[in-house]
Amino acid sequence: MAKTMERSSPTAPKSRAASNGQPAREEIALRAYHIYLQRGAAPGSEFEDWMQAERQLIAEIGKPHRKVKAKSAAA
């Protein structure tokens, strides 16, 4: 039987925050790219996109994570 490869979505990377609480460069780059696309892919704001992405990810890292309970099938 052939093995299937799991592919991770490039739009939803797993958090690779360093022990110092900072997001990984790859995460920042991907978030900055999404910000760039959201603004219509207009060039000239790379630094601002990067800084906004970094701020967003740092804020997310600082938030406590809640576990989502699975709904019961009997309900």
Please report whether residue 69 resides in a domain: no
Please give the structure tokens belonging to residue 6.
Answer: 């799991």
- Cα angle 71, 16, 14; round to 5: 35
Domain count, the chain: 1
Pinpoint the alpha helices (H) of 1-75. 25-38, 46-62
CA 11 to mean position of chain CA atoms: 7
Classified as helix, coil or strand, 42 is: coil
Please tell me the total number of residues recorded for the chain in this structure: 75
How does pLDDT run along the chain (75 residues), one tens digit per residue?
Answer: 455 444 444 554 455 555 567 899 999 999 999 999 999 999 999 999 999 999 999 999 887 766 666 666 665
pTM above 0.75, yes or no: no
In a domain, 55, yes or no: yes
Q: How far apart are CA 46 and CA 42, in angstroms?
A: 10
Residue 38: inside a domain, yes or no? yes
The boundaries of the domain holding residue 29 are 25-61
The answer as to whether 68 is a domain residue is: no
